[in-house]
Amino acid sequence: MNKRAPTAGPEAVSAPILGIETSCDETAAAVLSADGVVLAEAGHSQLQEHARFGGVVPEVAARAHLSRLPAMVADVMRRAGVAFSDLCGVAATAGPGLIGGLVVGSSFGKGVALAHALPFVPVNHLEAHALTVLMPGLGEPAFPYLLLLVSGGHCQCVAVLGLGRYRRLGTTLDDAVGEAFDKSAKLLGLPWPGGPALEQLAKLGDPAAIPLPRPLLGRPGCDFSFSGLKTAVARAVAQGGRREDIAASFQAAVAAVLADRARHALRLMPDATALVVAGGVAANAAVRQALAGEALRAGVAQEAPPPRLCGDNAVMVAWAGLLRLRAGLSGAVDFAPRPRWPLSEMTCA
Ligand code: KG4
Ligand code: ZN
C-alpha cells in the first residue's frame, strides 16, 4: 500500500504513525491514527534511575532508553493493533537533548523505517512541545500564536508563525524555569525532580509570607532570569523561614515573572490568536492561572495541553511527525541527531 506519495507539498496521510521520545529522561512511544487520535501510548520516566544522583546522568539515561525502548515500541504497536508495514512513517526526536538518548531513539526509528520502507521524520523536541496544542480535541489555536515554553531545559517566548516557522522573542539569561524549581526544591529538602513536590508544598504555605525578588519584572523585552531568585530562596532557607511559605512565595514570584514576560511578548505579537504554554512547568496550576489572567487581559485565548502532555511524551512527537508528513516534509534517514537544535533553525521545506 502506498500511504504517502514521494513528492513534497500538502498530502493526505491515511495510515497511523509511530512516535518515539528519548531526548532526556523519559522513554516513550506512541501510535497515532492518521487523524491524530492516540491509538496507544507508553512512557517510562527514569526518575528512579537518576534520583540518587539528584539529576539526569546522560550515560545512565542512554542505557535505560536502550534497554526499554524495543519492548515498549512492540507493546504500543500490539495495543494499537497496527503492523509496522501499516504505518505512514516513523517519527523520533532527533534533538535537542542528550546525545546518547537521541542516538538510541532516532537509530531505532530509522531502523524500523528502513526495514519497512517508510519515511523517517526527525522531530525537533521543541517543535513537538510547540505543536501539541494543535492536536484534535485540544485548543487547536490558529497561527500565529505565542508559545511560552517552560521546562527543565528550556525557557523561551516563541512566536509560532506556522509549521516550521518560529521566531524566538526571549529566552533565559541563566537557569531554565524548571531548573529553578528543581534547585529551589532541593534547597527545601524535596526529592528530585522538585517541581511537582514544590507545588504540593506550596499549597500549605502563604505566597505573600516571604518577600522574594521578581527578576526582570517590568523590564523591556521578554527575557528571563532565575538565578537571583534561587539565591534568595537559599537565603530564606538559611534564615529559617517556614518551608511551606518559602515554596509558596517562590512559586508566586515565578508565576508573576512568567506572566509579565508573556505580557511583553504579546505586545511584540499584536496578531497572536492565543497564549500557549507548554513544557513540564506548564503542569503547574499557579503558573497556568497567572498566564490565563494575562491572556484574558490581552484579549487572546489561553491554551495549554493537559498536564500529562505538558511533560515529555511520545504523543507530541508522533503528532509533530504527522503534521510534517501531511505537509510533505519527511526528513532524511541520514539525518544526524542534533544535541543543540534551536527552533529558529527549523526548516519548513
Ligand atoms: O518538559 P519536561 O518534562 O522535560 C524537559 O525539561 O524537557 O520538564 C521537566 C521540568 C522539571 O524541571 C520539573 O521539575 C518541572 O518540569 N515540572 C514542574 C511541575 N511538573 C514538572 N514544575 C513546577 N510545577 C509542576 N507541577
Ligand atoms: Zn521537553
State residue 88's pLDDT score: 96
Same domain, yes or no: 44 and 108: yes
Strand partners, 48: none
Pair (125, 186) in one structural domain: no
Structure confidence by residue, pLDDT tens digits, 11-31? 788 899 999 999 999 999 999
CA 308 to chain centre: 11
d(CA 246, CA 264): 27
> Is 3 part of a structural domain of the chain?
no
Ligand 1 geometric centre to CA of 333 (Å): 31
- pLDDT tens across 60-106, in order? 999 999 999 999 999 999 999 999 999 999 999 999 999 999 999 99
Q: Which of 252, 127, 137, 103 is nearest to 184 (CA)?
A: 252
Give the pLDDT of residue 259. Answer: 97
Q: How far is the CA of 163 from the centre of ligand 2 (A)?
A: 18
pLDDT of residue 172: 96
Question: 105 CB under 6 A from ligand 1?
Answer: no
Main-chain phi, psi angles of 4, to 5 degrees: -160, 125
Cβ atoms of residues 221 and 264 within 8 Å? yes
Per the listing, cell 534568595 goes with: 232
Is residue 1's pLDDT more than 50?
no
State if residue 181 touches ligand 1 by the CB under 6 angstroms criterion. yes
Q: pLDDT tens-digit profile of 30-57? A: 999 999 999 999 999 988 888 888 888 9
25 located within any domain: yes
- Do 248 and 209 meet the contact criterion of CB atoms below 8 Å apart? yes
pLDDT of residue 4: 44
* Ligand 1 close to Cβ of residue 178 (< 6 A): yes
331 lines ligand 1 (CB under 6 A): no
Give the ligand at the shortest distance from the Cα of 21: 2
Q: Does ligand 1 come within 6 angstroms of the Cβ of 279?
A: yes
Domain residues for the domain of 182 are 143-304
Give the closest residue to 330 by CA, choosing from 113, 57, 149, 125.
113
Residue 7 alpha carbon to ligand 1 centre in Å: 39
Point out the ligand 1 atom lying closest to the alpha carbon of residue 26.
3
Cβ contacts of residue 245 below 8 Å, gap of 6+? 205, 206, 209, 210
Asked if residue 144 lies in contact with residue 263, where contact means CB atoms within 8 angstroms, the answer is: no
Distance 10 CA to ligand 1 centre (A): 35
Q: What pLDDT, in 10s, does the model give residues 184-206?
A: 999 999 988 899 999 999 999 99
User: Ligand 2 center to residue 296 CA distance, Å?
Assistant: 26
Residue nearest to atom 14 of ligand 1 (CA): 195
Domains contained in the chain, number: 2
Task: Tell me, using a 6 A CB cutoff, whether residue 19 lines ligand 1.
Answer: no
86-97 residue pLDDT tens: 999 999 999 999
Q: Is residue 251 in some structural domain? A: yes
Ligand closest to Cα of 251 equals: 1
Are residue 188 and residue 320 in the same domain, yes or no? Answer: no
Q: What is the 345 CA–ligand 2 centroid distance (Å)?
A: 18
**Grid coordinates of 292:** 490565563
- 322 falls within a domain: yes
Phi, psi at 163, each rounded to 5°: -60, 120
**Average pLDDT for 210-219:** 94
CA dihedral 332, 338, 340, 343 (to 10 degrees): 20
Q: How far apart are CA 264 and CA 291, in angstroms?
A: 12
What is the pLDDT at residue 348? 60
User: pLDDT per residue over 144-162, tens digit each?
Assistant: 999 999 999 889 999 999 9
CATH number at residue 283: 3.30.420.40
Q: Is 149 a member of any domain? A: yes
Q: Retrieve residue 242's grid coordinates.
A: 517556614
Rounded mean pLDDT, 245-270:
97
Do residue 181 and residue 246 come from a single domain?
Answer: yes
pLDDT score recorded for residue 3 = 46
Using a 6 Å cutoff on CB, does residue 312 contact ligand 1? yes
Dist. CA 322 → ligand 2 center (Å): 18
Is 2 inside any structural domain? Answer: no
Residue 59 pLDDT > 50, yes or no?
A: yes
- Total-model pTM: 0.92
Band the pLDDT of 8: cuts 50, 70, 90.
Answer: very low
Query: Does ligand 1 lie within 6 Å of residue 151's CB atom?
Result: yes
Average pLDDT over residues 251-278: 97
Same domain (yes/no): 153, 291: yes
Q: What is the pLDDT of residues 298-329, one digit of tens each?
A: 999 999 999 899 999 999 999 999 999 999 98
Statement to judge: residues 148 and 296 lie in one domain = yes
- Give the chain's mean pLDDT: 93
Lookup: cell for 14? 491515511
| Residue 199 in contact with ligand 1 by CB distance below 6 A | yes
Q: Are residues 215 and 258 in the same domain?
A: yes
Q: Is the CB of 280 under 6 A from ligand 1?
A: yes
